[in-house]
Every structure is written in C-alpha cells, then in structure tokens.
Amino acid sequence: MEILWTFIKVFIIVNIVMLHVAYAVYFERKVIGHMQARLGPMHVGPHGLLQPIADGIKLFFKEDIIPSNADRPIFYIAPVIGVVAALGSVAVIPFWRGFSIADINIGILYILALSSIGTYNVILAGWASNSKYSFLGSLRSSAQVISYEIAMGLSLVGVIMLAGSANLSDIVEAQSGGPFIVSQFIGFFVFLMAAIAETNRAPFDLPEAETELVAGYFTEYSGIRWGLFFMGEYTGMFVMSALASICFLGGWHGPDFWIFSHVPGIVWFILKVYAFIFFYFWIRATLPRYRYDQLMSLGWKLFIPLALVNIFITGVIKLL
Amino acid sequence: MFLCIKSVGMPGEYVPIDYIPVIIVLFVATLIGLLPLVMGVILRPRRPYPLKLSPYESGIEPVGEPRYRFSVRFYVIAMLFVVFDVEVVFLYPWAVAFDKLGLFGFIEMMIFIFMLLVGYIYAWEKGALEWD
C-alpha cells in the first residue's frame, strides 16, 4: 500500500515538474523576445500561453527520421537516458520543510552522479548518429561536461563542510541562520558557471553551436526524439537551479519578518529556482558564445583552482 | 511486502529502505521518456526515401568517413578528469566528517590536494590544458 502511495506521489510530482519544464520553454521565448524588443509567441492562446502544448502536439505528429547508417539501438535510447538522468534527480530535492520524495543522506552525490550519466546521452547520440556534426558536437560536449563537472563537484565541498552533511534537507536546515552564499560566494560563482556549462547552455553551448555545428549532437534527430533532448536539457536546468538555491540561497527559507514569515516555504523555493532560470535566459540573451579553447582553459585554469582555494579558505575559517 | 522490513536488522540484512522511492522515481522517469516514443509510433507518418535518410551535411553528398581522427587533447582531458574526479569523491566524505576530524584531517587533506596540485601544475606546464 505504501509503495502505491509513493508511486502516486512520484507520478504527480514528476508531472508537475514536466509542466514547469514545458512552460520554461515558453518563458525563455518570452524573456528573450522582450529583451530583443519583440513579443515572443503570441498567436496560440492568450499571449501565446498554449504554445508549449501546441509544440508538443506538433512534435508527436512529426516523422521520426533515422539516418540509414545510424547505430539504431543506441540512436533509439540516447535521448531517453538524458530524460531519465535529469528527471531522476527530482527524487532528492527538498521542496519544503520535511518534504522530499527520498530523504537520502547522499543527496548531493546522487544529483552529481545523475548529471554525469546525462553526459552519456550526448556522447551516445553523437556517436550513433554517424554524422560529422554530431560527432564533433558530442566530442566537444563530453570534454566540456567532464571538465566542468570537477569544478562543480569541488565548489559544493565548501557547502558540505559548513553543513556537515550531504543530505539536501540538512543543508537547507543549516542555513536557517543565513544563506551560504554570504560565506561561499567563490563557491557560488564557480557552481553557477559550472552549472551553465554542465547543462550546455549559452554562453557555453559549444556542443550545439548552431552557427558552426548546425545543432551538434542532435543534428540527426527529429520529431519527438529531438523533443526528448530538449526535455532533458530543460529539466537539467531546473535541477541545477534547485541545487543552487538549496546549497547557496537557503532553499525553502525566506526572510523572517513582517508578512514574509507567513509565506509557505515552497513559494520561496520556487521563487529562487525561477530567479536562476531567469538568469539562465538573461545571460543567453546578453553574452556571445565562448570559443572552445577559452572555455576549456576557463574551466581548468580558473574554476578548478578557485574552487580549491575556496575549500582551503572554508577549512581555515571553520577551524579558527 | 518488503517494505515491512525495517532498515535496522542485522548487518547482513540491511535493506536501504530510503532508496525505494529513488527506484520508483527512476522507473517513472523511464516511463515518461519512453511513453512519447511509443505514442509517436501510432501517430506519426513514416515515409522514408534514401536521400532523406542520408546524414546531414549542409545539403551536399556526405564526403569521407563521419568518425575521423580527432585531437589527442580530448584523451588527455579524459585522463585528467579521472584523476580529479576521484579527488572530488575523496573530498566529499572528508567534508561531511570535517568537524570530527579537526585540524589533523584538514592538514591531511591539504597534503593530499597538494600532491594532486603538483601533477596539475605539471600537466599545465606540459601544455596539456592548452588548445591550439
């Protein structure tokens, strides 16, 4: 019986997350549209509100083109791996006090592990497509993602040291006195940049650099399979935003005065997550794409030493 | 049901009960990933012809092998990644137990990081981190 309830709970939460993911695409188009003095989608429904649904239906009815020399089984499963890896991370995220699907004590490790598995969809898709653009895109992406994964892992060590736990709920509880961003601003900066590179977003979207690689690793994908890649990417953005708000901005904690103390925790959490999502779109509209050598040397020569320095400083301050 | 077994049995009988929801989430996620594909089979048209199925190459006939030789730098990066990722894995339990380990643990870990830094500086000096 208990397992059935968990099942229903999981199903509802995962579907709510999927709804947010679908509307993140709409949100992105609106935000970037307005930043470029356009209106964004306007025709389907009032202010284009039904646009994500129309897009989804369209993708279902599109032909699924599989190149004749593609490696079929791998080509089939690659997009699914991305979706599973991104959605699976939702399991450990604490949405409000005492509520997460699975309250495991290695929450951070679990999310990092799944984000590494997410790399597989990129490299398998690029390899299986048997196309030059896909191959180059997947090579670039795998090198980029593994480089920034180190920086990301290191940047979270400071947070774990302060909280004394890798459980995400414990980390949020440890921030009741004030968010970790105050003492961990170096870690926060490194984490934010690494998260953008990890989810292959602009300005680090080299793997899909439209102007030179067409679409990178998913050049050969079409229809709903292509849609699954986007689903995975946007869910990954949500997971990274949630992780950033849990580890650095205090998750469900809000300002504790006046009427703000009566606002439920989930509202604060969602507000913080959407602030990060907005930040993602904002820099996409603002910054040009990096060059590949700049990207790699930024990751290896700046972010990794910075994160190590952050660990050292945190350790010294904690010991004093 | 196996859910009745508590996670406090004998060491050999340990059931990681907290992880059952994780498995359910992964299962539901797989379902959500596969469902559109299965639904798509019923809905979408299928009209292939050889030109449509050829790999994309900006509209011209594909030239040469798609999987050609690539820069050795990618390989070096992958090797460095293995070293550093193992380092990160070691740092996590240390960070969780930081308060208990105290100064001794801190110095111990700094020596470990220092040894890795020597390799890191060597790789940097050798130009493993350069892309030209």
Residue B131 placed within a domain: no
CA A147 from chain centre, in angstroms, equals 16
Interface touch B25/A160, C-beta < 8 Å: no
Residue B75 placed within a domain: yes
pLDDT category of residue A294 using cuts at 50, 70 and 90: confident
Which of A5-14, A88-97, B34-43 has the weakest average pLDDT? B34-43
User: In chain A, which residues have their Cβ closer than 8 Å to the Cβ of B124?
Assistant: 300-301
**Which one of A3, A63, A87 has the shortest CB-CB distance to B32?**
A87
**Across residues A204-212, what is the average pLDDT?**
69
Q: pLDDT at residue A209 above 70?
A: no
Q: What percent of chain A has pLDDT over 90?
A: 4
Amino acid B62: pLDDT:
72
Q: Cα distance from B122 to chain A (closest Cα, Å)?
A: 13
Q: pLDDT at residue B9 above 70?
A: no
Which of A17-21, A62-66, A266-270, A307-311 has the weakest average pLDDT? A62-66
Residue B63 placed within a domain: yes
Interface touch A160/B77, C-beta < 8 Å: no
Choose between A222 and A84: higher pLDDT.
Answer: A84
Q: pLDDT digits over A158-185, tens only? A: 889 888 888 888 888 888 887 888 888 8
Interface touch A154/B91, C-beta < 8 Å: yes
Choose between B131 and A232: higher pLDDT.
Answer: A232
Q: Cα distance from A260 to chain B (closest Cα, Å)?
A: 32
| Domain harbouring B6, CATH code | 1.20.58.1610
Q: pLDDT at residue B13 above 80?
A: no
User: In chain A, which residues have their Cβ closer than 8 Å to the Cβ of B110?
Assistant: 312, 315
Amino acid B12: pLDDT:
56
User: In chain B, which residues have their Cβ closer than 8 Å to the Cβ of A22?
Assistant: none
Give the number of domains in chain A: 1
Q: pLDDT at residue B4 above 70?
A: no
**Across residues A206-226, what is the average pLDDT?**
75
Give chain A's mean pLDDT: 85
Choose between A2 and A282: higher pLDDT.
Answer: A282
pLDDT category of residue B21 using cuts at 50, 70 and 90: confident
Amino acid A278: pLDDT:
92
Q: pLDDT at residue B2 above 80?
A: no
One DSSP character per residue, chain A reads -HHHHHHHHHHHHHHHHHHHHHHHHHHHHHHHHHHTT-----SSSGGGTTHHHHHHHHHHTS-----TTS-HHHHHHHHHHHHHHHHHGGGG---BTTB-S---TTHHHHHHHHHHHHHHHHHHHHHHHT-HHHHHHHHHHHHHHHHHHHHHHHHHHHHHHHHT---HHHHHHTTTTS-TTTT-HHHHHHHHHHHHHHTT-TTS-GGG-HHHHTTGGGTT--HHHHHHHHHHHHHHHHHHHHHHHHHTS-TT----SGGGGGS-HHHHHHHHHHHHHHHHHHHHHHSPPPPHHHHHHIIIIIIHHHHHHHHHHHHHHHH-
Interface touch A88/B37, C-beta < 8 Å: no
Q: Which domain holds residue B88?
A: 2-125
Interface touch B53/A293, C-beta < 8 Å: no
Residues in chain A: 320
Q: pLDDT digits over A241-281, tens only? A: 999 998 888 888 877 777 777 778 888 889 899 999 999 89
Amino acid A233: pLDDT:
87
Q: Cα distance from A257 to chain B (closest Cα, Å)?
A: 32
Amino acid B84: pLDDT:
85
Give chain B's mean pLDDT: 78
Give the number of domains in chain B: 1
Q: Which domain holds residue A157?
A: 2-319
Amino acid A207: pLDDT:
67
Residue B115 placed within a domain: yes
Residue B88 placed within a domain: yes
Amino acid B5: pLDDT:
42
Residue B130 placed within a domain: no
Residue B43 placed within a domain: yes
The size of the A-B interface in CB pairs under 8 A is 207
Residue B49 placed within a domain: yes
**Across residues A10-16, what is the average pLDDT?**
87
**Across residues B91-111, what is the average pLDDT?**
87
Interface touch A83/B32, C-beta < 8 Å: yes
Q: pLDDT at residue B20 above 60?
A: yes
Substitution target from A119, A146, A180, A191 for chain B, most B beta carbons within 10 A: A146
Choose between B3 and A296: higher pLDDT.
Answer: A296
Q: pLDDT at residue B48 above 50?
A: yes
